Chain A
Amino acid sequence: MSCHKVSLTVNGAKYAENAEARMTLVDFLRDVLDLTGTHVGCEHGVCGACSVIFDGKPIRSCLIYAVMADGHDVITVEGLEEDDGSLSPLQDAFWENHAMQCGYCTPGMLIATHQLLQENPSPSESEIRDAIGGNLCRCTGYQQIVEAVQMAAKKIKDNCV
């Protein structure tokens, strides 16, 4: 068993902590850095609840060991809020549309759809469904999540004009 120093940036802040080689990034974020917004669901890459943005791209944080994130940049759901601490237009649209019931999948859904809107500000319904294809939700039937993303896209677009 080996133990390693992990230095990384999370939501703009620098951290350096020790981690056993077998500790996944999601356990490191939650148990070592105390960033519990990211959820652990299946722990084998099926549910998407643990999605984070890693060097600008969404990945599953249960499928990478913390030691492999040494020197990299991570954004978690805590990093999506506005600078003043208020909800982002996307988070607000999830609230408005009841895009959650139990809320377990929500951090992963937000990460996946945040990234979608960054890359594609006016996604079609099928593009939204494709973007959340790797995220399981057992409550909403996905409909309200799709509607929330559509509302967020419209809000962001209207604010830019």
Chain B
Amino acid sequence: MKAAEFDYVKAKSLDEICLFLSQQAGEARIIAGGQTLVPLMAMRMARPNTLIDINDVEELKGIEITKKSVIIKACTRQSEVLESVDVRRSLPILSDALSHVGHTQTRNRGTVGGSLVNADPSAEISLIARLLDAEMTVHSVRGERVIKAANFFSSAMITNLDADECLTQVCFPIWSSVRTGFGFHETSIRASDYALASAAAQLSLDSSGQCRSISIVIGGATEIPTRISETEEQLMGSDLSDTEIKTAMEKIPEMLEPQADVHADADYRRRVACVLVGRALKDARERAKGSLV
């Protein structure tokens, strides 16, 4: 359980990271918190020739909040975002989801960008990114591009990032409507363990209480965080009564093809994901009405 040999370089700036990546032709990996990469290397499921340490690159750290969005630089620690009072005020669903990410010890090292690029199917940050269709900014010597969450995740543990690209920040949009509410639920073996299934919902209501916009996403039970647009369409314009939610959810199980493993079989994950969507939707509805904090 020791990593294979590798070379180590410490980058001082984003330009240096991009240069190192371009010179290494896919043989180098960036290391930030290392909370996913180091175990993968210990188990020799990852064997990069070179590690590029980006922990000293200050331009990749920090949180910026505007009226329209919460921007988090890629190398910002998960614990810093979780502890931020401003993030909790502007985007409480992200704070809520972050409290389920690993444990105190791993959140103190793990970064927001690291979680996104590792694209674990159970990852809470990826789930929220997909829910809100966050925008990921990536850099390389070829320039900069912005990738929407809808096009960012390719399959389990794989993104659409090219080998020479470095994620620099993620921008989570804030919904401006007053009657907006969110819900987030997950099920795991122990508190803070990997989610067997997770679900998040965000919606806003008009003055008559009808659903004006809605986003629902499932994680853990799918290879990548997955929007369930059919259910969203069914609930648009409705009052989101318990009956309407129940009817709209009937088709969810057949949309999912969960992986089975030692922790849970596919049927269990399918059923749990469905229950969690229901809970997330009801929490979102109550928050939008102002009856749940």
State the A residues within 8 Å of B (CB).
1-2, 4, 20-22, 24, 43-45, 48, 51, 54, 57-60, 62-65, 67-68, 112, 115, 130-131, 133-134
Contacts and interface: CB of A to CB of B under 8 A. Distances in A.
Interface in B41-57: 41-43, 51, 53, 55
A24 to B, nearest CB: 8
A62 B8 CA distance: 17
B22 interface: no
A143 to B, nearest CB: 16
Given A1-B7, A24-B2, A67-B53, 16 more contacts: A1-B5, A2-B6, A20-B5, A22-B4, A43-B42, A48-B105, A54-B108, A54-B109, A58-B105, A59-B108, A60-B105, A63-B109, A64-B38, A65-B38, A68-B53, A134-B104
A77 B8 CA distance: 29
B255 interface: no
A43 B104 contact: no
Contacts of A133: 103-104, 190-192
Nearest to A71: B56
Nearest to B56: A71
Contact of A64 (B5, B8, B109): B109
A115 B105 CA distance: 10
Contacts of B1: 43-44
B106 interface: yes
B35 interface: yes
Contact of B102 (A20, A112, A134): A134
B191 A63 contact: no
B103 A134 contact: yes
B109 A112 contact: no
Binding site secondary structure of chain B: loop
B105 A51 contact: yes
Contacts of B92: none
B8 A58 contact: no
Contact of A68 (B6, B35, B55, B79): B55
A45 to B, nearest CB: 5
Nearest to A2: B7
A19 to B, nearest CB: 10
A63 B38 CA distance: 6
Contacts of B7: 1-2, 21
Interface size class of B (residues with CB under 8 A): 20 to 34
A134 B39 contact: no
Contacts of B173: none
Of A22, A24, A57, which is in contact with the most chain B CB atoms at under 10 Å from its CB? A22
Contacts of A22: 2-6, 41
Contact of B34 (A2, A57, A64, A134): A64
Contacts of A131: 104
Interface in B172-219: 190-192
B38 to A, nearest CB: 5
A131 B105 CA distance: 9
Given A1-B7, A4-B8, A112 B105 contact: yes
B2 to A, nearest CB: 7
A43 B43 CA distance: 9
A50 to B, nearest CB: 9
12 contacts: A2-B7, A43-B2, A44-B1, A44-B38, A44-B42, A45-B39, A48-B105, A57-B79, A57-B108, A63-B35, A64-B109, A65-B38
Of A1, A48, A51, A59, which is in contact with the most chain B CB atoms at under 10 Å from its CB? A59
Given A1-B5, A22-B3, A45 B35 contact: yes
A24 B31 CA distance: 14
